[in-house]
Amino acid sequence: MLSGEMSHMTKLHRYSLILATVTLTLGAIMSCTTTSPRIPQPRLSPIQIGPEGSAPISFTRLIIRVPSGTTVGGHYDGLLKILKYRYTWLSNITVASDEFRIVGSEHLRSRGYTVLGGDNLLFGKDESSKAEYQLGGTIQSILYNTYAPLAGNRAESSLMIEWQLYDVYQTKVVYSATTNGYGKQSGVGSACIQEAFRAALDNLLADSKFVAAVRKGARKDWDQTTDDLVPIAITSCVSESPIVLPDNMQTVLRAVLTIQAGGSIGSGVIISSDGWAIAAGHVVSGLSEVAVRTQSGLELTAAVVRVDSQQDVALIRLPGRGHPCLPVAMGDERKIGTDLFAVGAPTGEGLAFSVAKGIVSGLREWQGKHYIQTDAALNPGNSGGPLLSPEGMIVGIVSWKIVAPGFEGLAFGVPIQALSDRLRIVWK
């Protein structure tokens, strides 16, 4: 938010500068004769992404992180461009309006990128949940100058933006850079700020490292193969009696685990009476042992036998035999719309062994990886917990979900077949 003191200029400069919710109110501070600063920045030509496009990418949001009280420009008048008013930013951390998300998405699309999100504004179609990468930016500094008719009758803006590229599959930021952008317009208004934003985005697209990260096919092949892994034979669990959910949920809960890996909490499920269990790779990666607890209160130390970070799955083993277990649904691909039950610790141990119900929202394949999409209400502590059919069979394990404003019910699990292939499990 910008502010000043002289009211007679307010009506002339009533524009939305950065946000739909931030009003530009201009005021005046009389100052000495000063020539306006020159702020143009070089605008680089984006690297051509190629006719095949990029990997699916979405533009998430723009954040403004300018300290409150910062002078960000001024209003100039006269042939000598004398400074008449200073513009002061009055907010601290602010989330920019959806306008910039739309502008960013459309600009990326115009440069040949495969952009998901905002595909149809009229009917609300939004496919951003399928994107492999998410791009967002933080405005670190703003410069905005306006010029009265005698001074040129124009406005100009310069932005410095820190960009971050988030890999949805690896659940981490894989690239970051800072670029500048400059924009100008005839008359006084906010269009120059959008132009500065586009220029900063173009300068990002001119970075060969960014382009290499999102080129289509960059992740077409697995970074890690399973050819050298020795197959592990596991005896499938057999239920003593038919299970019908939710009626027999107590039977299911006996086979579910709460996993504590340092300060992190996740979930798992026992798949064989001799102690084999499956979990999420990101919960146990880098460890040789983890602490597990059953619903009955039994606490054990489980060995981490195998982790596949690509598909985010892991195989662990509990000591002893005779453990309660659940059967796996090998070769049983759930139909879209059918019921699913998820069990885990959604907020940590305090709510361990919680049950959520949803449906199979979709069966997805992205860059060689397979997922079950569900609308079940899942949270970080659910990671590695089972996704169950109404017959009490494990059809997958919880892997990840999209967490962003405006997104609900977008969680994903790894199907049993994909898990078995990546961990080289041979079922007996």
Q: Tokens 């504004």 — which residue?
A: 121
Q: Does residue 180 share a domain with residue 34?
A: yes
Domain limit, last residue, from 181, 214, 247: 214
Residue 408, pLDDT score: 55
- 81-85, 223-227, 267-271, range with the lowest pLDDT: 223-227
CB atoms within 10 A of CB 372: 26
**pLDDT of 336 strictly over 70:** yes
Residue 34 sits in a domain whose CATH number is 3.40.50
Evaluate whether residue 301 is within a structural domain: yes
Q: What is the DSSP string of 213-232?
A: HHBTTTTSS-SS--TTSPPE
Q: Phi, psi (5° rounding) for residue 108?
A: -60, -40
> Which residue among 153, 184, 214 closes a domain?
214
Between the CA of residue 192 and those of 40, 77, 184, what are the distances in Å?
12, 19, 5
**Tell me, what's the pLDDT at 128?**
63
Asked if residue 249 is part of any domain, the answer here is: yes
The set of residues, in sequence order, having a beta carbon less than 8 Å from that of 242 and lying 6+ positions away, is: 391
pLDDT tens for each residue of 16-72: 333 323 333 333 333 333 444 455 668 899 998 877 778 888 898 899 999 989 999
* d(C-alpha 415, C-alpha 331), whole Å: 10
**Which among 163, 186, 214 is the end of a domain?**
214
Enclosing H/E stretch for 276: strand 276-280
Q: Is the pLDDT of residue 333 over 80?
A: no
Calpha distance 321→275 (Å, rounded): 6
User: How high is the pLDDT of residue 229?
Assistant: 86
Does the residue 374 lie in any domain? yes
Task: Look at residue 184 in the predicted model and tell me its pLDDT.
Answer: 93
Q: Which domain holds residue 417?
A: 232-427
Residues 366 and 239 in one domain: yes
Q: What percent of the chain has pLDDT over 90?
A: 46
Quick check: is 118 in a domain?
yes
CATH classification at residue 298: 2.40.10.120
pTM of the model as a whole: 0.52
Position 174 pLDDT exceeds 50: yes
59 DSSP β-pair partners: 135
Answer yes or no: do 241 and 206 share one domain. no
Output the pLDDT for position 6.
32
Mean pLDDT of 384-413: 78
Residues 350 and 209 in one domain: no
26 and 103 share a domain?
Answer: yes
Per the structure, the count of domains in the chain is 2
Please tell me the distance from the alpha carbon of residue 27 to that of residue 32, in angstroms, as a whole number: 16
In a domain, 222, yes or no: no
CA distances in angstroms from 85 to 14, 32, 33, 191, 196, listed in the order given: 15, 11, 12, 20, 22
Q: Which residue do the tokens 């139909």 mark?
A: 335
Residues 340-355: pLDDT tens digits?
999 987 666 666 788 8
Same domain, 205 and 347: no
pLDDT of the residue at 12: 27
Q: Are residues 185 and 238 in the same domain?
A: no
Residue 226 belongs to a domain: no
Claim to verify: residue 34 and residue 153 sit in the same structural domain: yes
Mean pLDDT of 127-137: 77
Residues 168 and 61 in one domain: yes
Residue 376 near residue 413, CB atoms below 8 Å: no
Q: Is 341 helix (H, G, I), strand (E, B) or coil?
A: strand
Q: Are 417 and 375 in contact (CB under 8 A)?
A: no
Domain for residue 187, yes or no?
A: yes
Task: Note whether 129 and 28 are same-domain residues.
Answer: yes
Binning pLDDT at 50, 70 and 90, where does residue 167 land?
confident
Question: For 393-407, what is the mean pLDDT?
Answer: 72
Residues 70 and 127 in one domain: yes
Same-domain status, 169 and 259? no
Domain for residue 220, yes or no? no
Q: d(Cα 192, Cα 173) in Å, to the nearest integer?
A: 30
- pLDDT-based confidence at residue 393 (cuts at 50, 70, 90): very high
